[in-house]
Structure 1
Amino acid sequence: MPAWADRFAAGAVLIAGLVLAGTATAQTSDLVSKTALRVCADPANYPMSDKDGTGFENKLADLIADRLGVPVQYTWYPMATGFVRNTLRANRCDIVMGYAQGHELVLNTNHYYTSSYTLVVPADGPLAGVTTLSDPTLQDKVIGIIAGSPPATHMARNGLMLNARAYNLVVDRRHESPAIDMLDDLAANTTDAAILWGPLAGPLVKRQYPGLTVIPLTSETLPPRLFFRITMGVRQGEKVWQRKLNSLIRRNQSEINALLATAGVPLLNDMGTEALDLSQ
């Protein structure tokens, strides 16, 4: 056999090996159920998810399952340490409906909405026109804050921590609900304002606190950033499943936006600088 033929044969073997390897990688999606949308979710994380199915992430799961032509099947686990390890990585489910873009524990789909932390204040009070944490009107006010969350750094920078009221960051929502405690305190005038993640604040205020208003913090320019792009999370390596979900998000984005807006989630542009115009 001529030398060029030897090289050609060796190259063919190499290419075949690469094709087989690529096929093996693509087939990681075989771990994904074909008969149900298997969702990993917190059973007590309303307004996002709950066991009663009334959270907006539950409704999003219903929408995606409908487009796939399969039922929804839940694996419930508190959204705390070990959540991904004991659900997605354990192959007990195939998707987390809401996960911040770039988180290394999961493979992110394309983001399907952007939101930010918000300032929640009485709608008819003196703080209703505040849009930044550097506003002097906030000085000496008692402001509720989730301890360790990104806005706490901004509060410290602006001298707002002296009178702050801290609420726990990592809890089992089946037994403790810092967001609701924070808004209850604000509604009872125990505090003057609250700073809370928008997808929690917006729906809770819309449903339970008619006297409060939610102001997205879109004008903060210093780090840490207060807006995040939210994706669906799948297992690392599940590129086929990721691409399928990306296609579903793209084709159903208007319905997803409407679902989130109806729930009361503050929706922003991709850079988190202004409210999303849903009229277009």
Structure 2
Amino acid sequence: MAGAGRYRRWLPALLAIAAMAIGHGAARAQTNESGDLSIELIDPKVLRVCADPRNLPFSNDKGEGFENKLAELFAQKLQKKLEFTYFPQATGFVRMTLGSHRCDVIMGFPQGDELAQGTNPYYRTAYALIAKQGSGLDDVTTLEDERLKGKHIGVVAGTPPGTNMAVAGLMANAKPYPLMIDTRIDSSAEAMISDLAKGEIDAGVLWGPMAGFYARKANPPLHVTPLVKETTGPKLVYRIGMGVRPADQNWKRQLNRLIQENQGEINKILLDFGVPLLDENDRPIGPDTAAKSP
């Protein structure tokens, strides 16, 4: 599952750090059988969130991302003050934020990542194909479609769909965009959308939340197709929860209850940002079915 996290850029952090954190967390967990959150949290009266200061649509230091909005929702439900600890989501993000006890939760964390303990998922989405409306590629549903042969397709290097594209014979004409970037000055997603608008590529493949957000901002809007029908290469659908320290079992249980009790409001925030939500049968979740769990 490691590939699921690479879209957030901090997954390549050193596994040795994760192992140390897990070991430390296990020791602390044994001392907190009472359910007392004051043992686990920096300040039980404050929801302290780890986030990137410039990584839309997820978060920014202006509070404009959907993870900012989800944090606001959770703080309201918990009747806590909300504070963010901002740090660029590159190698060392987990260690410098959650692992250093500067904050208590990462709002978006892929299931299966070993750098932190995941909550139950609060959404399920997929990498998606982006194309212009009426281009003849806007009804393509899989990278195996023959209509993509010979086309120039953008893909972020090192992400899972690159494997699917290679298997489908699409890499010869592909345009790669860098995975590891400084978000203060660059955005691979914005560069891909710009190239698509200018006709320098015929289509692009992006992680679902980015695809939906930037396609909606384009003029005219672009068509987004979640890639749920792949039969070769890795599956491109992932569940996303939240990340907490391995020792923080009671905090994890409280977040799980919040997710369960507020799934409808969570889905509405995600849909407002264009996130292509999927149910467990890979069917799209829209406003009419927004109360469903991922």
1:168 maps to a residue whose letter is P
The answer on whether the counterparts of 1:88 and 1:94 sit within 8 Å (CA) in structure 2 is yes
> What CA distance in whole angstroms lies between the structure 1 residues aligned with 2:104 and 2:31?
21
Aligned-partner SS, 2:288? coil
Alpha-carbon distance, 1:23 to partner: 3.9
- Alignment correspondent of 1:9: none
Stretches of structure 1 that go unaligned for 5 or more consecutive residues are 1-19
Is residue 134 of structure 1 aligned with residue 147 of structure 2? no
| Structure 2 CA distance for aligned equivalents of residues 38 and 140 of structure 1 | 48
Which residue in the other structure is 1:119 paired with? 129
Q: 283, 286, 294: which is aligned to 1:274?
A: 283
Pick closer, same or farther for the CA change 1:21–1:265 going to 2, 3 Å.
Answer: closer
Distance 1:35 1:207 in 2: 37
Distance 1:181 1:29 in 2: 44
In 1, distance between residues paired with 2:34 and 2:113? 21
Q: Structure 2: which amino acid aligns with 1:154?
A: N
Match of 2:95 in 1: 85
Q: What's the CA shift for 1:170? A: 1.6
Give 1:35's aligned residue.
45
Partners of 1:174 and 1:258 lie apart in 2 by: 28
- The 1:126/1:73 distance shift into structure 2, 3 A limit, reads same
CA–CA separation in structure 2 for the residues paired with 1:233 and 1:29: 18
The Cα RMSD (Å) is 1.7
- Distance in 1 between residues matched to 2:191 and 2:35, nearest whole Å: 46
1:203 to 207, 213, 224: 213
| 151-160 vs 218-227, greater mean Cα deviation | 218-227
Q: 1:170 to 1:28 in 2, by over 3 A?
A: farther
The 8 Å contact of residues 29 and 239 in structure 1, kept in 2 or not, is answered as no
Structure 2 CA distance, aligned partners of 1:147 and 1:270? 28
Aligned residues: 260
Whole-angstrom distance in 1 between the partners of 2:95 and 2:219: 36
| 1:166/1:249 CA distance change after superposition, 3 Å | same
Matched residue, 1:246:
256
TM-fit CA distance, 1:222:
2.9
1:245 counterpart letter in structure 2: L
Structure 1 residues 29 and 235 mapped into 2: Cα distance closer, same or farther (>3 Å)?
A: farther
One-letter code of the match for 1:31? E
The alpha carbon displacement at 1:279 in A equals 2.0
TM, length-normalised to structure 2: 0.84
Percent identical residues: 46
C-alpha deviation, 1:125, in angstroms:
0.9
